[in-house]
Every structure is written in structure tokens, then in C-alpha cells.
Amino acid sequence: MTRQIGNHGLFCLDDDDYAGFALALQCNAQAIDASLDATSDALNGYLDRPYLTWVNRAAQNISTGSGVTMPNGLIGSPLSPRGSNVDVISNGIPIDNSFWPRGVYAVGSTIAWTVGSPQNGTPRTLNLWGQFNSNGTVVAPDTASNFYFTSDYEGSTAGGALTTSGFLVNNGNMYIALAALYHTNTLGPLAVAAGAWRAWAIYLGSGLEL
């Protein structure tokens, strides 16, 4: 009789089973093939991980007081992967209303601007968060998780740059990540050149119990 050993589907033969040699060796070859194929698929999935990048395609002016309400209640001008003014590279992350693959994402954004009428000491923050939708209802963004920002204050040299990064945890209900710039320079807008505002999300893995 042939006996299966271990957990990879491999067989061995007993002394009195010479007639089963050919089939057992074929089964072993097939088991090795199937086991390696599963491992290969898992590794290729890891190496071809989903990601998304989006960058502003055209120059834009960012004024105060307009845009989207951010998780902290302030209003910022957004850079959305679904915007009309962005170039997007997506590897397996949807940019429609579909949910993103469940799991953990490393996210980041970077922006540079000039300002014609700077107000010394006014803040600028670059914000980054995930939007969630549960059973058709958009969930209010949480400031305690899935929300990151970096800030600076306008100095005596007009113009600036910020970079923000963090991690988003998608329990299955996240459908978009947004970056937004907030500032209080009421004397004039911040001017962002084409290609000077970029954001990204990189799938790290499914995470535990997600």
C-alpha cells in the first residue's frame, strides 16, 4: 500500500507494493508540482503587490476655505485619485467606488508650492486619510486612526514643501484615500506646479483578523 506522508501530498511505498512504483512516483511529481505552484503564486502575489499613485497633472492655486472637510473638521483642498486633474498609476487598486483590497497600506504624500503674498506665521498642513463606507453609508473619518498630517508655518522665504506618511488599515470598507492641503494664507493662494503634488498607497498585506 502507498502511504501519504507529511503535508505536501507526498507518497511512500511499502515493501510489497512494487506494482505501485510508477503511479506513486507520478503522484509525488504532481504533489511537488502543486506545492511549488502554490508557493510560486503566493510569492508572485507578494512581489506584484497592489499599489496606487496619483499626481496633479496641471498647475493649480489653492485658496483657503474651499475643498473637502477633513477628519479634523477643517477644510482642505483635496488631491483625489479620482480627480480630473490627476495622473494615476494603479496596480490592482480600484479608483471607482469599489472597496480596496482588505489589509494594511503604507501611504504618503508630498507637495511643494510657492506663494505670492505670504503671511508670516500662518500654518500649512498636508493631510492624508482613508474614507470608509459601511452598507452604503459613508462613515465619518476618524481622527484617531487612518488620519495623518504634517504641518509647517510660513516663514520669511515664501513657499514651502511638506511630506506626510502613515499606514491605513482597511477592514474591507475603505474605498479611497485622500490627501488635502490646509492653510490660512488669506492674502492669496498657494501655487502648486504640475507634478508638484503626489500621493501613493502601497498594499503591505492582509494583516491579522482583517
Of 112, 157, 103, the C-alpha closest to 130 is 103
Closest contact distance (angstroms) between CB of 197 and another protein is 10
Closest contact distance (angstroms) between CB of 205 and another protein is 12
> SS3 of 25, please?
helix
What dihedral do alpha carbons 147, 152, 153, 158 form, nearest 10°?
-120
Binding site for another protein (CB under 8 A): 21-22, 25-26, 29-30, 32-34, 36-37, 39-40, 43-44, 46-49, 51, 53, 89, 91, 106, 108, 110-112, 121, 152-157, 159-163, 165, 195-196, 198, 200, 202
- d(CA 177, CA 50) in angstroms, rounded, equals 14
Return the number of the residue (49 or 57) whose C-beta is nearest another protein.
49
Return the number of the residue (62 or 162) whose C-beta is nearest another protein.
162
Closest contact distance (angstroms) between CB of 107 and another protein is 9
Return the number of the residue (46 or 134) whose C-beta is nearest another protein.
46
Closest contact distance (angstroms) between CB of 4 and another protein is 18
Backbone angles phi, psi at 24, to 5 degrees: -65, -40
CA distances from 43 to 49, 82, 133, 153, 207 (A): 10, 30, 31, 45, 16
195 sits in the region (left: phi over 0; alpha: psi -120 to 50; else beta) called left
Return the number of the residue (4 or 91) whose C-beta is nearest another protein.
91
Closest contact distance (angstroms) between CB of 128 and another protein is 12
Return the number of the residue (95 or 133) whose C-beta is nearest another protein.
95
Closest contact distance (angstroms) between CB of 196 and another protein is 7
- d(CA 84, CA 5) in angstroms, rounded, equals 58
> SS3 of 45, please?
helix
Return the number of the residue (68 or 196) whose C-beta is nearest another protein.
196
Residues 6 or more apart whose CB falls under 8 angstroms from that of 22 comprise none
